[in-house]
Amino acid sequence: MSKNPQEHGQEYHYNKAKKEGYRARSAYKLIDLQNRFNIFKRSFYILDLGSAPGSWLQVAKKYAEDNIGRYKDQYYHRDHYKIMGVDTKNITPIEGIKVIKMDLTNPQFKNEIETYFNENQIDLIISDASINKSGNKFSDQSRQVNLCLEIIKLSKYLRVRGSLVVKLFQGADFDNFFKKMKETFVIVKSFKPRASNKKSNEIYLIGLKKK
């Protein structure tokens, strides 16, 4: 029996990830976001939330390394990068990246951010973090919004004109959360990457140019 388009798409990205050395096909969600919104432009200090198994960290490292050579002008640039990843699950270490096993809502996590980035402002926060789904789409969507509200609080560590990417579930609270993002960012866009499961109700909100 031939595969349906959804199964084919998942298999394509799975096989591509294995071939290109990414830990999961979710890497291509972040690459899709970059191709659409150029979120990694002049991003050297990057915080990745909900990092396990580490595919987004791999992508972030690639772009951060490229940026060091690309942006050598009178505008904002750095001669090094710093990337931190956090998750409640174990993350296999990646050279040059700090990984922490911790709940991102733990108050201690803010201390970790301030210490690692040496109180310098972050250029980009990316989050593929998700609640553990219960199967009730209404409560799951509400719980995911609450998680994302906690993530927005971390935008205080972003520099002016910095960017934030968060994963949301489509539902009743979506519009209110969108408005909440607009309070902090000049531009807010919603986007579903091609690499996302088409049957999933996940959608990403991208906040550009922090006020």
Task: Return the active site residues.
Answer: 167
Separation CA 137–CA 113 (nearest Å): 32
Element (H, E) at 123: strand 122-127
Say if residue 111 is exposed, middle or buried (CB neighbours under 10 Å; 0-12, 13-18, 19+): exposed
- The three-point CA angle 202-203-206 to 5° equals 150
Name the β-bridge partners of 85.
48, 99
Q: Which two tokens stand for residue 85?
A: 């990843």
